[in-house]
Amino acid sequence: MSRYDGPSEGFDPAQPYIPPYQAWENLALERNRIERELALSYMDLLKRYQEKSAECERERRTAVLWEKEHRMAERELNGLRSAAESSPFAFVVIDGDGAVFREDLIARGEEGGGEAAHELHQQLKAYFHDNPAFSNIEVIFVHVVLSVDGLSRALHASGTLPITDYAALTKFGRGFCRAQPFFSFTDVGYGKEQADHKVRKLFEFMERNIQCRCLILGGCHDNGYATFLESFRNNHKICLLETTPPAADFRKLSFKRVSFPSVFRSEPVPSKPTIPPGFAPPATPGTLYASSRSSPPLPNSGNGITSLPSPAPTASPNAGPPASLATSKSEASTSSYATVGRSNAPITINIASQKKSAVSRPYITFNRNDQRVDVPLPKADPNAVRAFEEKMHANGKNFCNRYYLMNNCKSANCSFYHGERLSAAEMLVLRHKTRNLVCSSGHQCREVSCNLGHHCSNPGSCYFGSNCRFAEMHGMDITPTIKIYDDGTREVV
C-alpha cells in the first residue's frame, strides 16, 4: 500500500510519540522539582546569610564597645598604678598586751610616749631605707592595740613600773598619739580575744590594700598569730616585729623579721605575787578580790584611749601579804603578760590561808549569753600523743570515748576499742580528740559530763573558715562569766 493510502486497520498514528512525550514530561517534572529545591535552598542560604550578617554586625559593635571599655579600663588602671606608686605606705599593727613598751618610757608619761613614737618612727624609716623593696615608703601608720587597764595592773603587780601612777600608761598613750600624726593607741578593755580580734581584722584589711607596701605585725609572743599567718605565707610585703623571744610556732615561718629594743621590752612582763598599792583586797579572810566586771566605766581621755584612774589605797591594816596571784587562763605558769592581760577576768588575788586544796568538783562554764563555753584543756604531751597513736594503730580501731572518759559504754555492739586503761597523759590526748567532735546540742548543752566540743576554739578568726566543723558557732563569745557545778551550784567567774 502506498503512503497515500489510508491507515491500515488497528494502527494508532500517535503511538510512536507517546514514549518521547512521557520522557519529556518526566524531565519537566524533575526540572520543576530541582527548581523548587534550588529555590528552597536559596531561601535557606539567604536566611542564614542574613543571620550571619546581623551577628557580624553585633560583633562589630561589641568589638567597638569593648575596645572603648578597654581603653577606659587601661586609663583607669594606669591611674590606679600611678596613685599606688605615688602614695605607698607602711602599716604596723602591734598587740600591745604582749609587745610591751619599755617601762622607763611608760614611767615618763606623755614625754615618754612622745619619745617612743619618735624613736619607733626613726627606726622604721631606717629599716625601710636599708631595704630596697620598701625604700620608696614615706608614710608610716602604727596602730597599737591593748588593754590599758590590764597592762597597767600587770606592770604594777610585777613591780616592773617604777612609779605608783596608775594613769602612766594612759598618759604614755596620749603622748604616743600626739607625737606622730599617723600613730594611734587603742584601748580595747578586758576580754580574752579582744586585742587579737582587732589586730587580725586590721591586718587582713591592710593586706588587701595595694598601697600598703609593707605590713608589720607585732605579735610574735602569741602562737595564735602563727596559725593565723599560715594563709599569708607567700606574701613578701609582710614582716614580723619581734619584741620578746618568739613563740615556738613562729620558727617555721619565713617572713622577714625586725626588732626595736630601744622601744620595746625584750623580756615578758614577769608575774609576781604582790598587791600593787591602791588595788588592795578587802580585809575579810578567805575572799577573792577581782578587779574586772563590777568596775565603773573608765573616763575617756579624748585621744582615742581610755584613761585609767588612780584609785585610793584601800588596804586593811589586818590584811597580810597575798598568798598567791593567778589568772584565769590555763597557762597560769607562763610568766608573760600575754597570759595576764588577755584573760577575761583580770588578776585574782587569794588572801586566804594556804591549805591543801580540796578535790575540784566537775563544772561547766557559760558566757554572758547563756551559751556553753568549753573549759580549756592543758596542752597534751607529745610523747603521750605518740604513744596514743601507736596504741590506736595496734588495736586497729579508735578508742571508745564513753568507755574511757565516762566509764559507761552500754552498747553491746560498740565498734570502738574497749581494753586496758590509758594513762593520765593519754587520757588527756583522748579528751583533746573528743573535743574536736561537735556536740549535737551545741552551745545549749547542759550535761556536765559531756566531753564533746561546743564551739570553735578560735571563733573570731578560724583558720578553716566555712570548712570548720564548728562553722555555725563562729562569732560566738567564748568568754566565761559563770560556772555551774554538777550539784547545780553557780559561781560568777
pLDDT at 421: 83
pTM for this prediction: 0.46
Among candidate residues 224, 258, 292, the one where a domain is terminated? 258
Of 337 and 20, the structure prediction assigns the larger pLDDT to: 20
Q: Is residue 17 part of a domain?
A: no
Q: Which three cell numbers stand for residue 212?
A: 600598703
Of 439 and 302, the structure prediction assigns the larger pLDDT to: 439
Question: Is residue 460 over pLDDT 90?
Answer: no
pLDDT at 133: 83
Task: Specify whether 230 is located in the same domain as 96.
Answer: yes
What is the total count of domains within the chain?
A: 2
How confident is residue 272, by pLDDT bands cut at 50, 70 and 90?
low
How confident is residue 7, by pLDDT bands cut at 50, 70 and 90?
low
pLDDT at 170: 92
Q: Is residue 327 part of a domain?
A: no
Question: Is residue 144 over pLDDT 80?
Answer: yes
Task: Specify whether 240 is located in the same domain as 387.
Answer: no
Among candidate residues 258, 282, 307, the one where a domain is terminated? 258
Task: Specify whether 94 is located in the same domain as 234.
Answer: yes
Q: Is residue 308 part of a domain?
A: no
Q: Is residue 373 part of a domain?
A: no
Residue 163, domain CATH = 3.40.50
Among candidate residues 233, 258, 283, the one where a domain is terminated? 258
Task: Give the pLDDT confidence of 147-164 residue by residue, as tens digits.
Answer: 888 888 888 888 888 777
Q: Is residue 184 part of a domain?
A: yes
Task: Give the mean pLDDT of the chain.
Answer: 78
Task: Evaluate whether 418 touches 400 at the Cβ level (below 8 Å).
Answer: yes
Q: Is residue 36 part of a domain?
A: no
Q: Is residue 229 part of a domain?
A: yes
Task: Give the pLDDT confidence of 191-211 residue by residue, as tens digits.
Answer: 657 788 899 999 999 999 888
Task: Give the pLDDT confidence of 37-61 residue by residue, as tens digits.
Answer: 999 999 999 999 999 999 999 999 9
Residue 131: domain span:
85-258
